[in-house]
Amino acid sequence: MTAIEQSLESLKDLIFRVDNVNEQKRLIRSIMEEYKKESERAAENAANYAQLEKEYANEKNSLKDEIAKLKATQPQPKTDELDDICKKMLVALANFNGPNGITDGELIQSLGLQKAKGDYLFDQLIKRKFVDTDGANMNRGTFWQVTDTGREYMAKLGLLDAKPAPLHPSAYDGGFDANPFGRHGTF
């Protein structure tokens, strides 16, 4: 190879390197531009996230306030309050004036309740000591009456003047045949 050819090869090699450097510079500029765009997007996303967090916190506080207002307007359940049907049983029993007394089974049947439900509700009266036995009949079972505690409960709820549910006429003479003894048996 002659000196001119060597110089020409060196010049080609130099041009190639310069082109490579220029290409690398273009790549670096492109990467820097992408980095700048991504940094701007990240900053924008961070600002959006902060705004969303602020809106979320405001909405959460607003909903908490609304829930508190709704809870305040809701009547609080009374833990000692009886079921409405149970109250009817108590009022009917308190106002019963038949000559022979009434059994729980007769009261339940007279009010048209299913035995299971009536027994459950009558048990609520017993547990709260609102009713007590008032004698028994060997053929009919245990008679029941309202206790002082039961009358106090009725007074507290304004049930002393409540009109009792009409009882079946058989309740006054012990004429029921189906389950006449209630769940308390016979003597």
Of the candidates 183, 186, 185, 182, the one whose C-alpha atom is nearest the C-alpha of residue 106 is 182
Which amino acid type is present at position 31?
I
Both 178 and 130 in one domain: the answer is yes
**What is the reported pLDDT for 117?**
92
Out of 39, 55, 74, a domain closes at 74
Residue 180: predicted pLDDT: 44
| Better-predicted residue by pLDDT, 31 or 18 | 31
d(CA 94, CA 138): 23
Q: Out of 17, 48, 74, pick the residue that ends a domain.
A: 74
Domain-ending residue, one of 74, 92, 111: 74
Domain count, the chain: 2
User: 79 lies in a domain?
Assistant: no
Q: Do 93 and 68 share a structural domain?
A: no
- Same domain flag for 38 and 91: no
Residues whose CB is less than 8 angstroms from the CB of residue 77 and which lie 6 or more positions away in sequence, other chains included: none
Model confidence at 183, pLDDT cuts 50, 70, 90, reads very low
In a domain, 146, yes or no: yes
Confidence band of 171 (pLDDT split at 50, 70, 90): low
Residue whose pair of structure tokens reads 């053929």 in the numeric block? 139
Domain of 148, CATH number, reads 1.10.10.10
pLDDT single digits (tens) 42-76: 999 999 999 999 999 999 999 999 999 888 887 76
The C-alpha angle with vertex 114 and arms to 109 and 117, in degrees rounded to 5, equals 110
pLDDT of 82-127, one tens digit each? 888 999 999 999 988 877 778 888 888 888 899 999 999 999 999 9
Q: Identify whether residues 180 and 93 lie together within a single domain.
A: yes
Which residue range forms the structural domain that includes residue 110? 84-184
- Residue 182 in this model has a pLDDT that exceeds 80: no
Higher pLDDT, 54 or 165: 54
At 26 the pLDDT is 85
